[in-house]
Amino acid sequence: MPAQVIVLNGGSSSGKSGIARCLQTVLPGPWLALGTDTLVEALPPALRTAGDAAGDGIGFADDGEVSVGPAFRAVEAAWIGGVAAMARAGARIVVDEVFLGGAHSQRRWQRALGGLPVLWVGVRCEAAVAAGREIARGDRTAGMAAAQADLVHRGVTYDLEVDTTRTEAMECARTIAARVG
């Protein structure tokens, strides 16, 4: 059965968003690209904090570490359920995610997407390359890319992995599209 949902998991600045945009170009029919950045941008400012403590929301420390509180987890659970509901209603979705909790994060998505055909894709990038992209972008907390490069993949199982260290987003998207079915 062809995938209804493609979940791209990788650290910050690993190339997931670029791959998602390319997938929208190479896959037949409309695919929505939704990601953790969309969720964070939709949060009220009171749930987005700089510094070590997230409080109730999500916090971004100066060293790139991300911490989350109970209000963020509640909103995130609603977000995941909403994405799954959209897929069940017939939307084809590319999810651009960062599994900060590794396998635990994947299990939350697996429960929500249960019964749907999902293609799980690991998006890897060497920490030094991702850190260089992070600096070039200028809109990320320094250190986040290096901190997440391996962390987000711990214990996660994939149907396919791509590595953007030396491979362009379009080539990765074509590799993924070939597996969609």
Please give the single-letter amino acid code of residue 152.
V
Task: Give CA angle at 24 (169, 114), nearest 5°.
Answer: 100
pLDDT on residue 2: 87
Asked whether 33 and 24 are in contact (CB, 8 A), the reply is yes
Q: In what order do the strands lie in the sheet with 32-35?
A: 32-35, 93-97, 5-9, 118-124, 160-163
User: What is the Cα–Cα distance from 109 to 1, expressed in whole angstroms?
Assistant: 19
Asked whether 127 and 151 are in contact (CB, 8 A), the reply is no
> 108 is written with which tokens?
């939350």
pLDDT on residue 50: 61
Q: What is the CB neighbour count within 10 angstroms for residue 27?
A: 18
pLDDT on residue 86: 98
Q: Quick: pLDDT tens for 3-52.
A: 999 999 999 999 999 999 999 999 999 999 999 999 999 999 889 876 55
pLDDT on residue 53: 55
Cite the active site residues: 37
Residue with tokens 């986040």: 144
User: What is the Cα–Cα distance from 98 to 163, expressed in whole angstroms?
Assistant: 15
In the chain, which residues have pLDDT < 50?
none
| CA 23 to the chain's CA centroid | 14
